[in-house]
Structure 1
Amino acid sequence: MSQLRVEKVQELMKQEISEIILRELKDPRIGFVTVTSVECTGDLREAKIYVSLMGDEKDAKECWAGLMSSLGFIRREIGKRIRLRFTPELTFALDKSLDYSARIQELLLKVRKEAEEKEGQSV
């Protein structure tokens, strides 16, 4: 299958899944969820949805449980909204890149602050 078509379907699925999570899901456990990317196999039979969860560890676990329980509903809605021969089998994966970048930013700010303090003491 054309790689361009797969990429277009991935982007469309990302938009639709974000919309479904934001507007359609009524589960109170699901808090602030960001769909960061979607990866599909070449034959569009399987899709891995990368999500980033905000909040503390307890909230993230509850949100993850809510997402896992709504997987069938999301797949059904994707089947309705996107016209494909087969609706892909969906799986969620946790995307830690936002946490990683926030940690790097925090470390950089700490190093900068220490450098400014050291410079202030030497003057």
Structure 2
Amino acid sequence: MTTHARPERVGQEIQAAIGALLTRGELRDPRIGFITITGVKVSPDLRVAKVFYSMLGTDQEKADTQKGLDAAKGFVRREVTSAVNLRVSPEIFFAFDASVGEGDKIDRLLREVRGKEGW
């Protein structure tokens, strides 16, 4: 087995652990809105994990959610470390994933074209 598969597997485990945190409601910061974890990219040395999330809302709500997630990084890191057996605790970074919103926009535009063209 190659070592390239390990960061991907660890990323999936981290995604599941953070999803469980959100499901249980353990992130109680009121700034954090309803978010979905869309993926986790882990560095090859497993020391850095970039967590991608998506949400619907205004730009202000998205900014507030980012601030809330940044404030909760330490708690999330500690919980992920206890849930995923790793020798080194990865540093967690949160990044907004705009692909879901872009996909929704493209879908809406295609529906408009179908309506106008009579597909």
TM-score by length of 1: 0.88
Alignment root-mean-square deviation, CA: 1.5
Aligned residue number for residue 103 of structure 2: 101
| Inter-partner Cα distance in structure 1 for 2:60 and 2:44 | 36
Aligned residues: 117
Please say which structure displays the higher CA radius of gyration.
1
Unaligned runs of 5+ in 1: none
Aligned residue number for residue 27 of structure 2: 25
Tell me how far 1:58 sits from its aligned partner.
2.1
| Inter-partner Cα distance in structure 2 for 1:55 and 1:62 | 11
- Give the ranges of 4+ consecutive aligned residues of structure 1 lying more than 3 Å apart after TM superposition: none
More helix by share: 1
Aligned residue number for residue 60 of structure 1: 62
Secondary structure at 2:30 match in 1:
coil
| Inter-partner Cα distance in structure 2 for 1:22 and 1:103 | 27
Unaligned runs of 5+ in 2: none
Map 1:17-96 onto structure 2 (within 5 A).
17-23=18-24, 24-96=26-98
Aligned residue number for residue 10 of structure 2: 9
TM-score by length of 2: 0.91
| One-letter amino acid of the structure 1 residue matched with residue 96 of structure 2 | L
Contact 1:53–1:63 (CA under 8 A) maintained in structure 2 = no
